[in-house]
Amino acid sequence: MNENPYAAQSMQTSDFGSGLPSEPARTSTLAIVAFVLSLVSIVLCCIPGLPAVAALLGVFAIIGISKSQGSVKGNGFAIAALIIGILLSVVQTIGLIVINQGFGQIGALNASVEAIEAGQFDTVRAQFPGVPAETLTDEVIADFQAQYTLDAGAFQSSPESLFSMFGAYASSGPALQQMQQPNWPYPNETIPWPATFDSGDGFMLYIPDESATSSGVVMPLSNMGVLAPSGSVYWLLPPGGGTTALPSPPATDGDAQGEAEGENEDAAPADAGG
């Protein structure tokens, strides 16, 4: 009685092949999925955890291929997915750490604006360890608040998440173009941070003071400003020196009439003399 030499071999129906020697080796579907997902995670690198999923699928694919006894191939796809997934996971982790630190520093800087709004001027001065107290007086800080409040209104909030920050920059990007102008007083030094005021969205402008050292300050400043929703810029300390002057209030009808009468009186003697 003749026996079939292949009768004892089991029939496998999983992703890793049927186990029949006569069948050509096929590529693991799991390995392909892992590789495609790793490539997608390069484009969508802002989605946390996606590279880790690709790496995990790559590991599962490698294990399955090794158990297929040569009936399934695709080790290259699986290994590539594993490597890409691990590298992107490391990059994402470092990026999240840096972003969290950045949000922490900006949060400390925004505390200065909140202190201005609350009238806590000593807290504001602590953020400027390199600026003499006789320069950054209560009057200077109060004038700065009066300037930007007259135009933009009171400070309300700033972005608290990465997505809201990107959205704010995308919608207000054109307003930042003036920072690229040759006459901008702080080229390559200004840190613009989105901020919401009563009249709309603008930016807080922070100028770090690299020469100042203070253990109690996260980021010492040499100046700060407000880029109002109107496009006007207001500085706490005028970049060119001098004093901070309040914008002139809008002229009323009575003021305009008085100015016109004054001009007529000035012109009358000239006409008489002629």
For residue range 198-257, list pLDDT tens digits in order.
999 889 999 888 776 655 667 888 999 999 999 899 999 988 654 444 344 444 455 445
Q: Are residues 132 and 225 in the same domain?
A: yes
* Cβ atoms of residues 152 and 229 within 8 Å: yes
Q: Are residues 134 and 39 in the same domain?
A: no
Quote the domain boundaries for residue 57. Answer: 26-97
User: What pLDDT score was predicted for residue 10?
Assistant: 47
Q: Are residues 93 and 165 in the same domain?
A: no
Query: Which of 54-58, 120-124, 186-190, 212-216 has the lowest average pLDDT?
Result: 212-216
Task: Note whether residue 117 is domain-resident.
Answer: no
Q: Are residues 162 and 67 in the same domain?
A: no
Q: What is the mean pLDDT of residues 120-127?
A: 90
Higher pLDDT, 54 or 3: 54
Q: What is the mean pLDDT of residues 11-34?
A: 68
Q: Are residues 72 and 170 in the same domain?
A: no
pLDDT band for position 270 (cuts 50, 70, 90): very low
Task: Note whether residue 40 is domain-resident.
Answer: yes
Q: What is the mean pLDDT of residues 16-31?
A: 69
Q: Are residues 92 and 132 in the same domain?
A: no
User: What pLDDT score was predicted for residue 154?
Assistant: 92
Task: Note whether residue 205 is domain-resident.
Answer: yes
Mean pLDDT of the chain: 77
Task: Note whether residue 225 is domain-resident.
Answer: yes
Single pTM value for the model: 0.58
User: What pLDDT score was predicted for residue 41?
Assistant: 87
User: What pLDDT score was predicted for residue 198?
Assistant: 93
Q: For 157, what's the count of Cα atoms within 13 Å in the CB-facing half-sphere?
A: 6
Residue that is last in its domain, among 97, 114, 142: 97
Higher pLDDT, 12 or 154: 154
Q: What is the mean pLDDT of residues 139-157?
A: 93
Compute the distance between CA of residue 142 and CA of residue 150 in angstroms, rounded to an integer.
12
Q: Are residues 75 and 154 in the same domain?
A: no
Q: Are residues 84 and 135 in the same domain?
A: no
Residues with Cβ < 8 Å from 164, sequence gap 6 or more? none
pLDDT band for position 83 (cuts 50, 70, 90): very high
CA distances from 117 to 137, 182, 203 (A): 15, 32, 16
Q: Are residues 80 and 150 in the same domain?
A: no
Task: Note whether residue 263 is domain-resident.
Answer: no
Q: Are residues 164 and 230 in the same domain?
A: yes
User: What pLDDT score was predicted for residue 146?
Assistant: 94
Higher pLDDT, 161 or 13: 161
Asked if the model's pLDDT at residue 173 lies above 90, the reply is: no
Q: What is the mean pLDDT of residues 2-25?
A: 54
Q: Are residues 130 and 230 in the same domain?
A: yes
Residue that is last in its domain, among 79, 97, 115: 97
Q: What is the mean pLDDT of residues 113-121?
A: 89
Residue that is last in its domain, among 48, 77, 97: 97
User: What pLDDT score was predicted for residue 205?
Assistant: 92
Q: Are residues 151 and 226 in the same domain?
A: yes
Task: Note whether residue 258 is domain-resident.
Answer: no
Using the 8-state DSSP alphabet, how is residue 14 labeled?
Answer: B
Q: How many domains does the chain have?
A: 2
Task: Note whether residue 160 is domain-resident.
Answer: yes
Task: Note whether residue 105 is domain-resident.
Answer: no
